[in-house]
Amino acid sequence: MINTASITDLKQNTAQIIKKLKIGGKSVVILQRSQPAAVLVDPNYYAVLEEALENSNDLTAIEERKNEKTVSFEEASKKVNQK
Give the pLDDT confidence of 6-33 residue by residue, as tens digits: 999 999 999 999 988 888 778 999 999 9
* The CATH number, out of the four listed (3.20.20, 1.20.1260, 2.30.30, 3.40.1620), of the domain defined by the range 1-41: 3.40.1620
Q: Looking at residue 64, what is its pLDDT?
A: 84
Q: Which helix (H) or strand (E) holds 35?
A: strand 35-41
Q: Looking at residue 81, what is its pLDDT?
A: 83
Q: Looking at residue 83, what is its pLDDT?
A: 63
Neighbours of 39 (CB within 10 A): 14
Q: Looking at residue 16, what is its pLDDT?
A: 92
Task: Give the confidence band of 77 by pLDDT, cuts at 50, 70, 90.
Answer: confident
Task: Please state, in angstroms and as integers, the Cα–Cα distance from residue 73 to each residue in 9, 64, 66, 77, 81, following that order.
Answer: 60, 21, 17, 6, 12
Does pLDDT of 39 surpass 90?
yes
C-alpha 55: how far from chain center: 10
Query: Parallel, antiparallel, or unpaired for β 27-32 and 3-6?
Result: parallel
